[in-house]
């Protein structure tokens, strides 16, 4: 295998996906896989990566056990996801990411830390939630630091929009929660407005929430905090009468 293998999704795809009739919230980027990431994809991918299918995923079969399942959308290089999964061994974690180096990176961490409660899907999260996640099946959803699309004309590409939040809420089991975090204040304001307007969700805090102990502070986030940059967490829960 070449040690300079290019990520499968090299190049840009259209923001507007005619097959789904929506604007995508991400751009696929060309990226180089490190030798370690490439090895992890080859050796651990068959065990921990699940194919995208337009059919509900059987969590018990996928994880080999019955346990609360938490969905993480856009896990990047996977450091936070691995840390949370290691700290919460009694929960299943389903990570969704489009970028191949990130998938390889998290697989590498899975191998190094001997994590068995993680499964990964490399696909558009909106399609995964729409087709593979059954209603009322998730204990929680994590959306940490999604692309802020900070230019006003690009705000429509942000992931946290009313329709997607409604879809996520429909997948939460009774007592399930939706946890978002961002370091862009404008996006935090939008998130608070959108989540607060969804009739099936209720805020667990009076506005923004304290960072839950299960979400570790990343090196990038810590540098920003030292420079005085803000980070906003939002934790909403499915209403009992939803």
198 is in an annotated binding site: no
72 is in an annotated binding site: yes
SS3 percent helix, strand, coil of the chain, rounded to 5, is 35, 20, 45
193 is in an annotated binding site: no
Kindly name the residue from 58, 60, 147, 193 that is annotated as catalytic: 147
241 is in an annotated binding site: no
Cβ atoms of 239 and 201 closer than 8 Å: yes
CA angle 92, 93, 94 (to 5 degrees): 125
151 is in an annotated binding site: yes
108 is in an annotated binding site: no
**How far from 151 is each of 154, 158, 184, 187, 218, CA to CA, in Å?**
5, 11, 12, 11, 25
156 is in an annotated binding site: no
Helix (H) or strand (E) holding 221: helix 219-226
Collapsing DSSP to helix, strand or coil, 236 comes out as strand
Query: What is the 3-class SS of 94-148, one letter each residue?
Result: EEECCCHHHHHHHHHHHHHHCCCCEEEECCCHHHHHHHHCCCCCEEEEEEECCCC
- Alpha carbons within 13 A on the beta-carbon side of 40: 23
- Give burial (CB, 10 Å; 0-12/13-18/19+) of 109: buried
Active site residue 147: yes
Nearest to 94 by CA among 114, 74, 113: 74
Q: Which residues are catalytic?
A: 147
Residues of the binding site for substrate: 151, 183, 218-221
Residues of the binding site: 72, 97, 124, 147, 151, 183, 218-221
Residues of the binding site for S-adenosyl-L-methionine: 72, 97, 124, 147
């Amino acid at each position: 295998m070449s040690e300079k293998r290019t990520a499968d999704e090299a190049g840009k795809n259209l923001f507007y996906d005619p097959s789904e009739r929506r604007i995508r919230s991400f751009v696929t980027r060309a990226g180089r896989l490190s030798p370690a990431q490439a090895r992890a994809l080859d050796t651990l991918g068959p065990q921990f990566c699940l194919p995208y299918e337009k059919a509900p995923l059987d969590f018990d079969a996928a994880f080999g056990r019955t346990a609360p399942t938490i969905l993480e959308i856009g896990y990047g290089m996977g450091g936070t996801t691995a840390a949370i999964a290691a700290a919460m061994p009694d929960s299943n974690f389903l990570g969704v990411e489009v970028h191949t180096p990130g998938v390889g990176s998290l697989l590498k961490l899975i191998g190094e830390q001997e994590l068995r409660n993680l499964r990964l899907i490399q696909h558009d999260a909106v399609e995964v939630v729409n087709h593979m996640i059954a209603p009322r099946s998730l204990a929680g959803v994590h959306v940490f630091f999604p692309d802020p699309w900070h230019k006003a004309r690009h705000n429509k590409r942000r992931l946290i929009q009313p329709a997607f939040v409604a879809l996520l809420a429909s997948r939460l089991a009774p007592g399930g929660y939706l946890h978002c975090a961002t370091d862009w204040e404008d996006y935090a304001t939008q998130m608070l407005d959108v989540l607060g307007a969804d009739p099936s969700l209720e805020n667990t805090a009076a506005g923004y929430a304290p960072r839950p102990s299960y979400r570790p502070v990343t090196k990038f986030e810590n540098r920003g905090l030292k420079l005085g940059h803000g980070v906003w967490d939002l934790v909403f829960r499915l209403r009992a009468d939803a």
